[in-house]
Structure 1
């Protein structure tokens, strides 16, 4: 199993292959298309991330001491953003998620290329994924 840091480094490498942000946005859209989609039964108000301009649903399940995330969004760029975050944090131990930094987001230049509302949504997505980690960490202890 890859560590969060290894996955983040892969993402940084992948984004560095693109020459401009138009190509990077297209790549994020493609990542969103490959996102493990949340099952319809979990597309509820309880699973909507508050603070996002678009609708973003996230569901988390604990499987053998790791958290598996699924998600969806009604906006293609936002779907790409959550796909990146899920790639980093899914199938990781709650403590690893809680200890992980998100410097890779600055390293790929994502935050500076998002509108203020999307940047706030990004922060809300990270916060929600870490809240799931806190909840499951508590269950494991």
Structure 2
């Protein structure tokens, strides 16, 4: 497997969402959370240039967003990137939640976590829609 794909931490998706919530709670406001998201995006593994094309593009995002996956056994591993720094951080969060899971696990994750984390209210409508487009793309991959 290429080094671009995100390997999960030793935690369930629910535990990953709870950990992200706890991390967000460390910050006093969304300006600090945005900085944190930018840092997360900057720490993503390099996304190969040859994947930055329409074949891997996520439709429905205002920014350019690319998503690729690898399947090993019954688990899916994802890689992603964007031309927008905050969106890249949002990708990092989604990959942390979804990568390394089975199709059943991926499809059971309730996308309401986007609202529960406060992301939906803190992001522009276009960015919120883009996050949901990324979630739908991941779910579509898992549902094949």
Deviation at 1:106, TM superposition (A): 1.8
Measured in 1, the distance between the counterparts of 2:63 and 2:92 equals 14
The answer for the alignment partner of 2:11 in structure 1 is: 2
Measured in 1, the distance between the counterparts of 2:40 and 2:108 equals 25
Which protein is richer in helix relative to its size? Answer: 1
Matched ranges for 1:44-123 at <5 A: 44-123=53-132
Measured in 1, the distance between the counterparts of 2:141 and 2:63 equals 20
Deviation at 1:37, TM superposition (A): 3.1
Deviation at 1:39, TM superposition (A): 2.1
SS in 1 for 2:11: coil
SS in 2 for 1:106: helix
SS in 2 for 1:48: coil
Deviation at 1:102, TM superposition (A): 2.5
| Residues 29-59 of structure 1: CA deviation (Å, up to 9, x unaligned) | 0110111333222222011011111000000
SS in 1 for 2:81: strand
Unpaired segments ≥5 residues, structure 1: 136-141
Number of matched pairs: 135
Q: 1:134 aligns with which of 117, 136, 143?
A: 143
Q: Is the 8 A contact 1:9 1:104 kept in 2?
A: no
SS in 1 for 2:46: coil
Measured in 2, the distance between the counterparts of 1:87 and 1:39 equals 19
SS in 1 for 2:41: helix
Measured in 2, the distance between the counterparts of 1:133 and 1:126 equals 11
Measured in 1, the distance between the counterparts of 2:113 and 2:81 equals 22
Deviation at 1:120, TM superposition (A): 1.0
